[in-house]
């Protein structure tokens, strides 16, 4: 068996792994990256990126439906779902090739195959082109996560599908039950509804996107209702069985029949079959336990991304990848501020948030002041014809500290960052309001909401 000697072996090339590999290379370390699928991992190939392509399609379909509003008469149009999927594949391919390019540029060796940790400095790869052993001074595990299902409900990717099946299937169902109203659930609900499916969302908790601010959930539910998406919240799924048009979902609030069911009940860390048990790498509730430097309980073995725990977000994984790489290179990386990781959901209206929800801030005993500004009062949003939603700022009453910001509406996911930067710099409401915001922009809603928290909003 061939043996390769490197400074760092990275197992998994999703957003955490490939960023860690590149940062290691930048710091002068030799790197081998092991991947059993395509470079870029779930995010680039089967998650974030292709779904964003599909959601863009959904948005375009919706604009075509609204063409008359803009004075454009269409003799009719056909939205072909298979072609939407094909477009999303081209987008994903391009991004995956981008990772391969970056690896070449940084002289990172891509080792195709499945990596297993044999000891703290040895990774064995069962590859398509033969097996090999990688000897490394440090190992970074970045194997990510995979969709979970409900107990007793197998995912066959035909009638009961996960996001893995959903991004691959060129056939859009006439009806679908989406089980789980987190980011994955509401994004697919949006896409399927745009392509004409009768969508029913089931959520065990009392509201859509339950980790977001309550008012955001309400606004999203209102928007979905307008688009005839059915929502049942606070319901427990009892069983999912074949039958009817495809699948019958029994709940404690009646049954729902549809062609397909999409399981979007969360993701679990991929920690089995990696050799972690034999090395006694310590786990904590199914995730790998790591220090603030991302080192596991086994010295020299690092872990990053979804496999080390929530939030299961690509950008969190990337930031952790940088920390791990710098720790290995002997730098003293600044540990992540997990309280300041923005969360983005790309359904329409988009959702973005950072920091504490109003309820969490109050729970923490903070005396808060709230500023809220609707996009209906924002010139740019009106011009775009995209006025759903609002910006909500939660601040500490005494100090003006920005405790949390919750945006639902057009380009919410782009607007959020001024608050993330502000929080990193410990800006208060004052610094935001004294920053001149260009007119007309959607970001003016951020300014106005901030003014609102100080009781000084101009445009409402």
Partner 1 sequence: MAITKVVMPKLSEAMETGKIIKWLKKEGDRVQGGDILAEIETDKADVEMEAFGAGVLRKILVSAGEKAPVGTLIGVIAEPAEDIAAALASAPAPAVAAGAGAASSARKDTRPEAAPVPPTAPAPGQPLRPAVVSTPAPAVPAVSAGAVGIPAPALTASTAVATGRVKASPLAKKIAAQTGVDLRLIRGTGPGGRIIRRDVEAATVTVATAPVTVAAAPVTAPIVPGVEYEDRPLSQIRAAIARRMPLSKAPVPHFYVTSEVAMDRAWELREELNALEGQPKISVNDFVVRACALALLKHPGVNASFQGESIRVWHRAHIGIAVALEDGLITPVLRDSHAKSLAQIAVEARDLAERARARKLRATELSGATFSISNLGMYDVTEFSAIINPPEGAILAVGSVRRVAVVDDAGLGVGRRMALTLSCDHRVMDGAMGARFLQDVKRLLEEPLRLLV
Catalytic residues: 439
Task: Residue 345: name the closest of 176, 180, 143, 195 by CA.
Answer: 180
Which positions ≥6 away from 210 have C-beta within 8 Å?
181, 182, 203, 217
Query: What is the total count of residues that contact partner 1 (CB under 8 A)?
Result: 23
Of 333 and 349, CB closest to partner 1: 333
- Residue span binding partner 1 (CB under 8 A) among the ranges 34-42, 207-215, 335-343, 426-434: 426-434
Least Å from the CB of residue 434 to partner 1: 10
Of 27 and 370, CB closest to partner 1: 27
Q: Confirm or reject binding of residue 86 to partner 1 (CB under 8 A).
A: no
Least Å from the CB of residue 404 to partner 1: 14
Least Å from the CB of residue 315 to partner 1: 20
Binding mask 129-168 for partner 1 (x = CB under 8 A): --------xx------------------------------
Least Å from the CB of residue 427 to partner 1: 5
Q: What is the CA radius of gyration of the chain?
A: 23
- Residue span binding partner 1 (CB under 8 A) among the ranges 65-73, 141-149, 288-296, 371-379: 288-296
Written in H, E and C, the secondary structure of the chain is: CEEEEEEEEEECCCHHHHHHHHHHHHCCCCEEEEECCCCCHHHHHHCHHHHHHHHHHHHHHHHHHCHHHHCCCCCCCCCCHHHHHHHHHHHHHHHHHHHHHHHHHCCCEEEECEEEEEECCEEEEEECCEEEEEEEEEEEECCCEEECCCCCCCCCCCCEECHHHHCCCCCCCCEEEEECCCHHHHHHHHHHHHCCCEEEEEECCCCCCCCCCHHHHHHHHHHHHHCCCEEEECCCEEEEEEECCEEEEEEECEEEEECEEEECCCEEECCCCCCCCCCCCCEECCEECCCCCCECCCCCEEECHHHHCCCCCHHHHHHHHHHHHHHHCCCCCCCCCHHHCCEEECCCCEEEEEECCHHHHHHCCCCEEEEEEEHHHCHHHHHHCCCCCEEEEEEECCCCEEEEEEEEECCHHHHCHHHHHHHHCCCEHHHHHCCCCCCCCCCHHHHHHHHHHCCCCCCC
Q: Confirm or reject binding of residue 266 to partner 1 (CB under 8 A).
A: no
Q: In what order do the strands lie in the sheet with 368-374?
A: 343-345, 350-355, 402-409, 390-396, 368-374
Q: Confirm or reject binding of residue 119 to partner 1 (CB under 8 A).
A: no
Q: Confirm or reject binding of residue 299 to partner 1 (CB under 8 A).
A: yes
Q: Confirm or reject binding of residue 435 to partner 1 (CB under 8 A).
A: no
Site for partner 1 in 236-265 (CB under 8 A): none
Least Å from the CB of residue 396 to partner 1: 9
At residue 312's C-alpha, the angle toward residues 307 and 314, to 5°, is: 100
Least Å from the CB of residue 137 to partner 1: 6
The correct pick among 1, 68, 75, 398 for binding partner 1 (CB under 8 A) is 398
- Residue span binding partner 1 (CB under 8 A) among the ranges 169-177, 255-263, 267-275, 297-305: 297-305
Q: Confirm or reject binding of residue 394 to partner 1 (CB under 8 A).
A: no
The correct pick among 212, 295, 306, 388 for binding partner 1 (CB under 8 A) is 295
- Residue span binding partner 1 (CB under 8 A) among the ranges 51-59, 90-98, 225-233, 421-429: 421-429
Q: Confirm or reject binding of residue 169 to partner 1 (CB under 8 A).
A: no
Site for partner 1 in 325-344 (CB under 8 A): 327-330, 334
Q: Confirm or reject binding of residue 170 to partner 1 (CB under 8 A).
A: no
Of 61 and 446, CB closest to partner 1: 446
Q: Confirm or reject binding of residue 291 to partner 1 (CB under 8 A).
A: yes
Q: Confirm or reject binding of residue 28 to partner 1 (CB under 8 A).
A: no
Of 277 and 430, CB closest to partner 1: 430
The correct pick among 98, 112, 244, 300 for binding partner 1 (CB under 8 A) is 300
Query: Given the rule CB under 8 A, which residues bind partner 1?
Result: 137-138, 291, 293, 295, 297, 299-300, 327-330, 334, 398-401, 425-428, 430-431
């Amino acid at each position: 068996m061939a043996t390769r000697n490197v400074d760092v072996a990275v197992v998994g090339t999703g957003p955490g792994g490939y960023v860690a590999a590149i940062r290691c290379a930048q710091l002068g370390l030799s790197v081998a990256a092991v991947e059993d699928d395509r470079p870029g991992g779930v995010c680039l190939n089967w998650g974030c990126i292709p779904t964003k392509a599909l959601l863009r399609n959904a948005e375009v379909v919706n604009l075509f439906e609204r063409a008359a509003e803009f004075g454009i008469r269409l003799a009719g149009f056909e939205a072909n779902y298979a072609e939407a999927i094909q477009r999303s594949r081209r987008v994903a391919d391009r991004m995956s090739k981008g990772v391969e390019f970056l690896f070449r540029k940084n002289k990172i060796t891509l080792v195709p195959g499945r990596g297993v940790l044999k000891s703290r400095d040895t990774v064995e790869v069962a590859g398509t082109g033969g097996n090999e052993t990688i000897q490394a001074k440090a190992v970074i595990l970045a194997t990510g996560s995979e969709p979970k299902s409900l107990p007793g409900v197998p995912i066959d990717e035909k009638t009961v599908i996960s996001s893995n099946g959903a991004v691959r299937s060129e056939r859009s169902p006439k009806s679908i039950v989406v089980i789980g109203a987190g980011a994955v659930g509401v994004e697919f609900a949006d896409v399927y509804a745009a392509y004409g499916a009768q969508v029913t969302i089931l959520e065990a908790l009392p509201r859509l996107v339950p980790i977001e601010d309550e008012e955001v959930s309400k606004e999203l539910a209102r928007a979905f209702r307008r688009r005839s998406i059915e929502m049942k919240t606070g319901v427990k799924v009892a069983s999912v069985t074949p039958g009817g048009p495809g699948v019958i979902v029994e709940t404690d609030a009646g049954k729902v029949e549809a062609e397909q069911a999409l399981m979007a009940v969360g993701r679990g860390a991929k920690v089995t079959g990696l050799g972690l048990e034999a090395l006694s790498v310590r786990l904590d509730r199914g995730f790998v336990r790591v220090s603030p430097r991302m080192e596991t309980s086994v010295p020299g073995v690092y872990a990053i991304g979804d496999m080390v725990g929530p939030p299961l977000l690509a950008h969190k994984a990337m930031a952790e990848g940088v920390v791990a790489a710098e720790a290995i290179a002997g730098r003293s990386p600044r540990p992540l501020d997990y309280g300041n990781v923005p969360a983005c959901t790309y359904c329409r209206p988009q959702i973005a948030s950072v920091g504490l929800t109003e309820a969490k801030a109050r729970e923490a005993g903070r005396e808060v002041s709230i500023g809220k500004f609707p996009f209906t009062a924002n010139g740019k949003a009106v011009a775009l014809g995209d006025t759903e939603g609002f910006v909500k700022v939660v601040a500490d009453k005494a100090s003006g500290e920005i405790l949390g910001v919750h945006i639902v509406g057009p380009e919410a996911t782009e607007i959020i960052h001024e608050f993330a930067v502000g929080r990193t710099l410990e800006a208060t409401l004052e610094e935001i309001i004294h920053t001149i915001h260009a007119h007309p922009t959607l970001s003016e809603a951020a300014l106005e909401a901030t003014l609102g928290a100080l009781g000084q909003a101009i445009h409402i």
